């Protein structure tokens, strides 16, 4: 499913009865099946953008189109949006509220029209995808789980709906390297299966390794938009925006300053190792 934001305006109440403008005439197009990362300094509008695209808030001006339909127009069937768009917030574990893991993961399917057997099948599929044994965890209370387990169960609840668009707000913050890698592999797998995936993150390494398109935001505007290689190839601009480049890019820049020729678009560890091997062979 495609997403289109046309000339969006959005603000929220500030102090002393003044409103704070987040977006003013903001436009963005995301094609069906894209795998997108969004970076930006705190307060640039990343989370508000996700909320607009998920229909959780409405703009004061402009339109948000999902598959060509304005989701905020009168008469729009919001159930389509709930089935089509899934959003996982920065602390998804706070979304857990049912008495058992199984009930929590199944909650989003309550009004889906699926049979009990189909709902159970979806729950098993989602929990398995997140690395759980259904039989071992289904009757456990979410309150007894570790922080990492709670996060994975919350994500499973969104996955169970099988939305066409999946949006994640800082999904890997606080995850250990193993779970971080597992999450990124899962996101890539879902994208290969046709899901439009959008990840908001400050983790440059993770975005460099996973997404196909990287959007950098600043004060409610898109200031950079391209492949991760092209975006991270401009470390000066990234520094101006108070953002970092991926670690391999930073290492490559350091080596280049010491006279070791490194391609300017190196952003991943595998690319850096290959470049260094080629340099060694050339000597």
Same domain, 155 and 25: yes
pLDDT score recorded for residue 180:
86
Same domain, 16 and 58: yes
Same domain, 218 and 264: no
pLDDT score recorded for residue 14:
66
Element (H, E) at 217: strand 213-218
Same domain, 234 and 266: no
pLDDT score recorded for residue 90:
81
Same domain, 211 and 168: yes
Q: What is the number of structural domains in the chain?
A: 2
CATH code: domain of residue 17: 3.40.50.300
**Over the range 147-177, which residues count as b (16 or more CB within 10 Å of their CB) and which as e?**
eebbbbbbbbbbbbbbbbbbbbbbbbeebee
Same domain, 198 and 283: no
Torsion of CA 85, 86, 88, 93, to 10 degrees: 150
Same domain, 216 and 251: no
Task: Find the domain containing 152 and state its range.
Answer: 3-245
Same domain, 81 and 149: yes
CA–CA gap between residue 254 and residue 260 (Å, rounded): 9
pLDDT by residue, tens only, the chain of 283 residues = 899 999 999 998 766 567 889 999 999 999 999 999 999 998 899 999 999 999 999 999 999 999 999 999 999 999 889 889 999 988 877 888 899 999 999 998 987 889 999 999 999 999 999 989 999 999 999 999 988 888 889 999 999 999 999 999 998 887 788 888 888 999 999 999 999 999 999 999 999 999 999 999 999 999 999 999 999 989 899 999 999 899 999 999 899 888 888 888 899 999 999 988 888 877 7
């Amino acid at each position: 499913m495609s997403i289109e934001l046309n000339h969006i305006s959005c603000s929220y109440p500030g102090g002393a009865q003044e409103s704070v403008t987040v977006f003013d005439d903001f436009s963005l197009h995301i094609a069906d099946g894209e795998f997108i990362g969004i970076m930006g300094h705190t307060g640039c509008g990343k989370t508000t953008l996700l909320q607009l695209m998920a229909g959780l808030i409405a703009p004061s001006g402009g339109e948000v189109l999902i598959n060509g339909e304005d989701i905020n127009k009168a008469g729009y069937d919001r159930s389509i949006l709930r089935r089509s768009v899934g959003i996982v917030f920065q602390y998804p574990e706070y979304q857990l509220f049912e008495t058992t893991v199984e009930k929590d993961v199944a909650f989003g399917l309550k009004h889906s029209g699926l049979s009990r057997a189909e709902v159970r099948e979806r729950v098993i599929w989602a929990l398995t995808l997140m690395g759980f044994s259904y039989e071992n965890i289904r009757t456990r209370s979410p309150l007894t789980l570790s922080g990492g387990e709670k996060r994975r169960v919350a994500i499973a609840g969104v996955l169970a709906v099988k939305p066409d668009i999946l949006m994640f707000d800082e999904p890997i913050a606080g995850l250990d390297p193993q779970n971080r890698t597992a999450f990124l592999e899962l996101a890539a797998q879902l994208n290969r299966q046709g899901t439009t995936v959008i990840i908001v993150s400050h983790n440059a390494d993770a975005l460099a390794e996973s997404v196909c398109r990287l959007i950098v935001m600043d004060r409610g505007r898109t200031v950079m938009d391209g492949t991760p290689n092209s975006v991270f190839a401009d470390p000066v601009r990234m520094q101006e925006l108070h953002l970092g480049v991926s670690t391999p890019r930073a290492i490559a820049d350091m080596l280049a300053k010491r006279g070791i020729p490194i391609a300017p678009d190196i952003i991943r560890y595998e690319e850096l190792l290959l470049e260094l091997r080629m340099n060694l062979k050339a000597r």
